[in-house]
Chain A
Amino acid sequence: MRTSRLKKLASALVIAVLMIGVLGVANFALELKGTKSNIVWTNFEQSEDLDMVYIGTSVAASSFNPNLIDAEYGSNSANMASPLQKIEETYLGIQSAYERFCVKRVVMTLDFTTLQLSETPNLGSAYLTQRGRVVGPTQYLASTAWLIADKGAAGVPGSINMAFPWISNHPTWKDGIGGIKRNVETKLDGSTVAQAVEAMEPGWTYFGKGYGNKYAQLDYDSKDVALFGELEKIETLSFEEAAIEGVREICAYCAERDIELIVVNVPIPVFNIHGYGQFYVDSQQAVATLLGDMGVAYYDFAYAKPELLQLEPADFYDNQHLNAVGADKFSTAFVTFMGMLDAGQNTDGLFYTPEEYLATIDYVSAVKASATSAEDGIHITGNAFAGSGVEVEYQMFARPVASDQWQLVRDYAPSNEAIWNPDARGTYDIRVNVRARGSDVDYDHFNTAEVIY
Chain B
Amino acid sequence: MTQLYSLQFVSFLLLMLIVYFMVGKTRYRSSQWVVLLVGSLGFYLFSGWENLIFIGVTALSVWLVGLRFEKLDQLEKELKKDAADRAEKKEVKRRIKQRKWTFLLLVMVLNFGILSYIKYWNVILGFFGAGDGFLASQLLLPLGISFYTFQSIGYIIDCYFGKYAPERNFARFLLFVSYFPQLIQGPINRYDALAQQLYEPHRLDVHNVRRAILLIGYGVFKKYAIADVLVSSVGSALDSIDASTPGSVIVYGIFLYAIYQYADFSGGIDMVRGVSQLFGIKMAQNFRQPYFSISIADFWHRWHITLGAWMRDYVFYPMALRPSLKSLTTWATAHLGKHVGRTIAGCLANIVVFFLVGLWHGAELHYIFWGLYNGLLIASADLARPLFTWLIDKLRINVASAPYHVFRIVRTFILVCIGYYFDRLMNASDLPTAFYNTLFNFQPQNFVPYLQLHPTANFTLCLLLAGVSCLILFAISVMAERGIDVKGRILAAPLVVRFVIYAVFVVLVLFSFTLVQSSGGFMYANF
Interface residues of A (CB under 8 A from B): 8, 11, 14-15, 18-19, 22-23, 26, 30, 123, 148, 151, 154-162, 164, 166-168, 170, 173, 372-375, 401, 425-427, 450-453
A63→B306 CA distance, assembly (Å): 58
- B3: Cβ under 8 A from any A Cβ: yes
Interface pair B7/A452, CB less than 8 Å apart:
no
- B317: Cβ under 8 A from any A Cβ: no
- B101: Cβ under 8 A from any A Cβ: no
9 contacts between A and B (CB under 8 A): A15-B498, A155-B3, A157-B5, A157-B518, A159-B6, A160-B6, A425-B446, A452-B244, A453-B244
Which residues on A sit within 8 Å (CB–CB) of B8? 151, 154-155, 159
Given contacts A161-B513, A167-B513, A452-B244, is CB(A19)–CB(B502) below 8 Å?
A: yes
Which residues on B sit within 8 Å (CB–CB) of A173? 458, 461, 514-515
- B445: Cβ under 8 A from any A Cβ: yes
Which residues on B sit within 8 Å (CB–CB) of A427? 446, 449
- B436: Cβ under 8 A from any A Cβ: no
Which residues on A sit within 8 Å (CB–CB) of B407? none
A203→B295 CA distance, assembly (Å): 59
Write the nearest CB–CB distance from B381 to chain A, whole angstroms.
37
- B56: Cβ under 8 A from any A Cβ: no
A276→B446 CA distance, assembly (Å): 34
A-B contact count (CB 8 A): 100
- B9: Cβ under 8 A from any A Cβ: yes
A36→B510 CA distance, assembly (Å): 23
A425→B514 CA distance, assembly (Å): 38
A141→B523 CA distance, assembly (Å): 34
Interface pair B453/A160, CB less than 8 Å apart:
no
Residue of B nearest to A170 (CB): B514
Which residues on B sit within 8 Å (CB–CB) of A161? 510, 513
Contact of B244 among A11, A123, A373, A401 (CB under 8 A): A373
Which residues on B sit within 8 Å (CB–CB) of A160? 5-7, 10
Contact of A373 among B2, B9, B243, B449 (CB under 8 A): B243
- B246: Cβ under 8 A from any A Cβ: yes
Interface pair B3/A15, CB less than 8 Å apart:
no
Write the nearest CB–CB distance from B328 to chain A, whole angstroms.
47
A156→B243 CA distance, assembly (Å): 38
Which residues on A sit within 8 Å (CB–CB) of B113? none
Contact of B449 among A23, A159, A170, A401 (CB under 8 A): A401
A159→B6 CA distance, assembly (Å): 6
- B506: Cβ under 8 A from any A Cβ: yes
Residue of B nearest to A161 (CB): B513
A155→B8 CA distance, assembly (Å): 5
A156→B224 CA distance, assembly (Å): 13
Contact of A15 among B224, B243, B449, B499 (CB under 8 A): B499
- B472: Cβ under 8 A from any A Cβ: no
Which residues on A sit within 8 Å (CB–CB) of B446? 425-427, 452
Type the 1/0 row for B418-460, where 1 means its CB is closer than 8 Å to any CB of A. Answer: 0000000000000000000000000101100110110000100
Interface pair B503/A22, CB less than 8 Å apart:
yes
Write the nearest CB–CB distance from A169 to chain B, whole angstroms.
9
Which residues on B sit within 8 Å (CB–CB) of A453? 244
A429→B344 CA distance, assembly (Å): 57
Write the nearest CB–CB distance from B140 to chain A, whole angstroms.
15
Interface pair B445/A18, CB less than 8 Å apart:
no
Interface pair B495/A14, CB less than 8 Å apart:
yes
Write the nearest CB–CB distance from A151 to chain B, whole angstroms.
7
Interface pair A155/B1, CB less than 8 Å apart:
yes
Interface pair B514/A19, CB less than 8 Å apart:
no
Type the 1/0 row for B485-527, where 1 means its CB is closer than 8 Å to any CB of A. Answer: 0000000000100110011001100100111011110000000
Interface pair B3/A157, CB less than 8 Å apart:
yes
Which residues on B sit within 8 Å (CB–CB) of A167? 510, 513-514
Type the 1/0 row for B1-25, where 1 means its CB is closer than 8 Å to any CB of A. Answer: 1110111111100000000000000
A170→B512 CA distance, assembly (Å): 13
Type the 1/0 row for B368-391, where 1 means its CB is closer than 8 Å to any CB of A. Answer: 000000000000000000000000
Write the nearest CB–CB distance from B359 to chain A, whole angstroms.
31
Which residues on A sit within 8 Å (CB–CB) of B50? none
Write the nearest CB–CB distance from A213 to chain B, whole angstroms.
26
Which residues on B sit within 8 Å (CB–CB) of A373? 242-244
Contact of B453 among A148, A162, A170, A452 (CB under 8 A): A452
A166→B507 CA distance, assembly (Å): 12
The interface centre, meaning the residue of A23, A159, A453 with most chain B CB atoms within 10 A of its CB, is A159
